[in-house]
Structure 1
Amino acid sequence: MPSSDTSDLTGVFRTVMRRVASTVTVITAADAKEGLGREHGMTATAVSSLSMDPPALLVCVNQRTLLHDLMLRGPGFCVNVLAHDQSRVSAAFSGSVSPEARFAVGDWRTAENGLRFLADGMASLFCRNTATVPYGTHTIFVGEVVEARQHDAERPLLYQDTRYCRCEPIDAVPA
């Protein structure tokens, strides 16, 4: 039977969402103001395809983070899809190392637009920030994909129930 107790609903919702496997990404952004030179990256699983025409993504970011501030100020951001063997990169951008040392973990390059991208990840999607929608503790950023770089990796890093997972192909389902 459904519960109307808000604390119970929050706990059940958290448990359910932890069990949903998500592709791990690192979102990067840089300050658009001249001379500040701030850049930041953060691991995120709240990324979703929005549209194919135009190609666009939804990215949800907590409003209390530096990444949120940079994404609001800057014209764009980059969504880096991690490969199955890049859990160290994810951990670094989740806070296991200082923000200043994060880009030392992995093969990070700087694109012409000033955004960092992971050269050996699965893919890097450069987005123009086209809309923001505040909701609760987060902001939903709509990013129109203006450039996509597909790298050699074929299998994504997944995260489920506080653990990293690998995606393994399975045989076709019998009829």
Structure 2
Amino acid sequence: MARLGAAVTVVTTGTLENPVGFTASAVCSVTDDPPTLLVCLKRSSRAREAFHEGSPMCVNVLASAQQDLSNRFAGPLENIERFAAGHWTTLETGAPALEEAVSSIDCILDRIVEVGTHSVLFGKVQAIRLGNPAAALVYFNRAYHHLPHADLT
């Protein structure tokens, strides 16, 4: 699966006062009616217990310049230290949303399916915030790659 490139995201839950988050690249759209996406989270992750059906979840898509933030949320730091970087607000669900993200997709966790070593989190989209257009950060072949910004206008 290392040869399957993917966008780099920081997935959050909780509140601004008690935030939880982790870095994920296993994220994809499931359906547009109702708008739903999925996130794969390793069952042994210390963040796992904070995610449960009905809880908020925000998927923050990172820009090329945010590789350090990705590493911060993938490393051993405690949650409070992870959230010390960036500017965090909320959208509709109350989950932390990164102001500098390329986009923030705010969801309510609809269901969780346990598959092997991972929990597959299905989130129904409640709100989307599009950030400034920026170059993309992707993960491929166990390394970060920086895609140039594409002007879509």
Same fold (TM over 0.5): yes
Cα displacement (A) at 1:147? 0.4
Normalising by structure 1, what TM-score? 0.77
Q: Does 1:30 align with 2:14?
A: yes
Q: Aligned with 1:143: secondary structure?
A: strand
Q: Does 1:21 align with 2:5?
A: yes
Cα displacement (A) at 1:69? 1.1
Sort the Cα spacing of 1:52 and 1:111 in 2 relative to 1 into closer, same or farther, 3 A: closer
Cα displacement (A) at 1:59? 0.8
Across the two proteins, how many residue pairs are aligned to each other?
149
Normalising by structure 2, what TM-score? 0.88
Distance 2:40 2:65 in 1: 24
Who is 1:173 aligned against?
none
Q: Does the Cα contact within 8 Å between 1:120 and 1:153 map onto a contact in 2?
A: no
**5+ unaligned residues in a row in structure 2: which ranges?**
none
Q: Aligned with 1:152: secondary structure?
A: coil
More strand by proportion, 1 or 2?
A: 2
Q: Equivalences for 1:129-148 in 2 at 5 Å? A: 129-148=109-128
Distance 1:21 1:75 in 2: 28
Distance 1:107 1:164 in 2: 23
Distance 2:65 2:119 in 1: 29
1:37-79 Cα distance to aligned partner (Å, 9 max, x none) = 6421100001011001111101111112232211116522100
Q: Equivalences for 1:78-117 in 2 at 5 Å? A: 78-95=58-75, 97-111=77-91, 113-117=93-97
Distance 1:119 1:112 in 2: 14
**% identical equivalent positions:** 34
**5+ unaligned residues in a row in structure 1: which ranges?**
1-16, 32-36, 171-175
Look up the equivalent residue of 2:74 and give its one-letter code: S
Q: Does the Cα contact within 8 Å between 2:92 and 2:106 map onto a contact in 1?
A: no
Distance 1:163 1:110 in 2: 30
Kindly name which structure, 1 or 2, has the bigger radius of gyration based on alpha carbons.
1
**Cα RMSD, aligned residues only:** 2.0
